[in-house]
Structures are given as structure tokens and as C-alpha cells.
């Protein structure tokens, strides 16, 4: 038999080098950050979903209050929405369940909210493994709640709306004021982790942390196509926001984000390891003596104009 390749090519060391080179490249192509590594390396993560709660970093701390004994597993099967009388199987029904609730989604779905969706304490939205879109009126609000995880959801085209009634925690019908149309509002809430979501194209902003909220981590999200992206503190007279602590880590801001990535009033924002590709007015800004620690961010300035300026 004739061997076409020179014999040295078939030798063991050559293949070994080739093989390790290949493995190295595959690994280099998909580096995982510290948050993802914590759950994603487990090929069987679907059966260990609650491990995610231990993967958070920053001011939210570890989300271990969301898991363990008594955690209710709720599966969203119905993309429908009824704000006053939520039906079992819908997302709104799940987010109002009291106590530790771990919410997953049976299949890919598009949920069109009729009114703002209130998320109660100890709730996790886990969109891993499916493609879940939430859009519609006002979108998600974490109001006076703590221990909330929102992971792996696409939230977009959230519309402003006038005042109205929605069912809140404990089945109470709550009158709500007008909503600006943000993808996620964190209002007077604490211990909130927003990870791996894709947020874009809403009426007002994508993510607001206001009303004296504390201990929030915003990580691994993709923010795009938005005028004003993220507001931490909305009112100069709201001194309670001095207590606000927000970690903004490993997010992507691109393309077409104009300003507020974030814009901070009072409070402390640790802004670390984010990617900014282009901005129009500014990327990071603040007023009312905020503390902003900007560390290891990657700023790719737009080509036009004088955009590479740091003003203290």
C-alpha cells in the first residue's frame, strides 16, 4: 500500500501538537468569565439550574436566598397576559407567587405584556435554553422587593403607559401611576441580580435603579439601540439614593447607544469590564456627588467628533 503523506506527518508528536493547538484555539475562542464559568462548564446545567444563584458577583452578593428548601418550580407554558386576573401557566401568575419561586419557560415564546409586570421577592426568571421575548406595556418592575434574579430574557419595545390597575403580590389590586416605558425598573428594591439579558428599543430607558434601591448587580447584559440606557437615581431631591450600590460588570453597550451607560445620581456605581462601542453624548456620567469607580472598561470611541474626553 502506498502512503501518500510523508511518514513524519503520521508520527504521534505531530498529531499531538496539532491536537493541542486545536484544543487551545477552541478554548481561546470561547473564554468564559467568572460568572459563566460557575454554571456553564457543567454540561448538565439544565438539571442543576439553581446553581446559578451562587454565581453572582458584586453588590448583589450571592443569591442563595432564592434557592434551597421550599423553592417552588414554576414553568411558563402560556405567553398570554391578564393583568387583573392572571391565569395559571402565564408569567404574571408565576411572578406573583409568594416565597422562593424559580421560573423557567417550556418553549420559545413572545410575551406581550398588557400592563407593567410586578415581580415579587424571592423570584427568579431563568430564560436559559429557550428564546423568550418580553415586550409591550411598561415591562418589568421590581418594586419594594428583594432577592430577585432576571436571567436570559430579551426585553424590548416597552411602551409608556398611563395610570392603571394591576394585580400585585398577595393578590392585591394595585393602582399604579404612569410608566415611562423602561425594560426593567428597580424601584425601592434590594438584592437584585440582572444577568445575561438583551435589552433594546424602549420608549424611555432600558434599566433604571431608583427610589432608594440597594445592592444591585447588572452583569453580562447586552444593551443596544437606545437613546438613554441606564439611570441610577432619577431625582436630585431623593437623598435616599445615597445608599444605592450598583455593580455594572461585563456588559456590552452597542450599537446605537447614545448616553447614560450609566448616568448616576448619588450612590456608588462600580463600573468594571464593560465594552462600549460608540456613543453620541457620553458613556458614563453623573451628578449630585456620586462615586463612580470605572475600572478596566473597553471604550471604542466613535470616529467622528471629539468623543475621547474624560471630564472630572
Pick the binder of ligand NAG from 61, 80, 89, 168 (CB under 6 A): 61
**DSSP, res 72:** E
Is 190 a binding residue for ligand NAG by CB under 6 A? The answer is yes
Gap between the Cα atoms of 179 and 140, Å rounded? 11
**Smallest separation, CB 245 to ligand NAG (Å):** 7
* Residues between 208 and 237 that touch ligand NAG (CB under 6 A): 211-212, 214-215
Residues present in the chain in total: 312
Nearer to ligand NAG, 155 or 246 (CB): 246
- For the chain, the straight-line distance linking the first and the last C-alpha, in angstroms and rounded, comes to 76
Gap between the Cα atoms of 290 and 153, Å rounded? 30
Q: Annotated catalytic sites, by residue?
A: 260
Nearer to ligand NAG, 58 or 278 (CB): 58
* Residues between 144 and 163 that touch ligand NAG (CB under 6 A): 144
Q: Is 256 exposed, middle or buried (0-12, 13-18, 19+ CB in 10 A)?
A: middle
Nearer to ligand NAG, 156 or 214 (CB): 214
Segment contacting ligand NAG by CB under 6 A, of 12-20, 99-107, 114-122, 207-215: 207-215
**Smallest separation, CB 46 to ligand NAG (Å):** 30
CA distances (Å), 143 to each of 184, 185, 211, 260, in order?
11, 8, 9, 22
**DSSP, res 70:** T
Is 265 a binding residue for ligand NAG by CB under 6 A? The answer is no
Give the residues lining the site for ligand NAG (CB under 6 A). Answer: 61, 144, 188, 190-191, 211-212, 214-215
Amino acid at each position: 500500500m502506498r502512503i501518500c503523506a510523508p511518514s513524519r506527518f503520521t508520527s504521534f508528536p505531530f498529531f499531538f501538537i496539532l491536537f493541542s493547538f486545536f484544543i487551545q484555539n477552541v478554548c481561546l475562542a470561547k473564554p468564559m468569565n467568572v460568572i459563566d464559568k460557575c454554571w456553564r462548564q457543567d454540561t448538565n446545567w439544565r438539571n442543576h439550574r439553581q446553581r446559578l444563584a451562587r454565581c453572582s458577583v458584586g453588590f448583589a452578593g450571592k443569591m442563595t436566598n432564592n434557592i434551597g428548601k421550599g423553592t417552588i418550580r414554576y414553568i411558563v407554558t402560556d405567553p398570554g397576559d391578564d393583568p387583573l386576573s392572571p391565569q395559571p401557566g402565564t408569567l404574571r401568575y408565576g411572578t406573583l407567587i409568594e416565597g422562593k419561586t424559580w421560573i423557567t419557560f417550556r418553549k420559545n415564546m413572545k410575551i406581550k405584556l398588557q400592563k407593567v409586570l410586578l415581580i415579587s421577592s424571592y423570584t427568579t426568571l431563568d430564560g436559559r435554553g429557550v428564546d423568550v421575548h418580553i415586550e409591550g406595556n411598561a415591562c418589568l418592575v421590581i418594586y419594594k422587593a428583594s432577592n430577585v434574579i432576571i436571567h436570559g430574557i430579551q426585553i424590548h419595545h416597552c411602551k409608556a403607559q398611563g395610570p392603571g390597575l394591576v394585580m400585585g403580590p398577595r393578590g392585591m389590586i394595585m393602582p399604579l401611576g404612569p410608566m415611562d416605558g423602561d425594560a426593567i425598573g428597580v424601584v425601592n428594591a434590594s438584592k437584585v441580580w440582572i444577568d445575561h439579558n438583551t435589552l433594546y428599543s424602549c420608549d424611555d430607558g432600558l434599566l433604571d435603579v431608583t427610589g432608594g434601591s440597594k445592592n444591585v448587580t447588572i452583569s453580562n447584559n447586552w444593551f443596544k439601540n437606545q437613546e438613554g440606557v441606564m439611570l441610577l437615581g432619577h431625582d436630585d431631591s431623593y437623598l435616599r439614593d445615597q445608599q444605592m450600590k450598583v455593580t455594572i460588570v461585563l456588559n456590552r453597550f452597542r450599537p446605537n447607544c447614545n448616553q447614560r451607560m450609566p448616568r448616576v445620581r448619588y450612590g456608588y456605581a462600580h463600573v468594571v469590564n464593560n465594552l462600549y462601542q460608540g456613543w453620541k453624548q457620553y458613556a458614563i456620567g453623573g451628578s449630585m456627588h456620586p462615586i463612580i469607580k470605572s475600572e478596566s472598561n473597553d471604550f471604542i470611541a466613535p470616529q467622528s467628533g471629539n468623543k475621547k474626553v474624560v471630564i472630572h
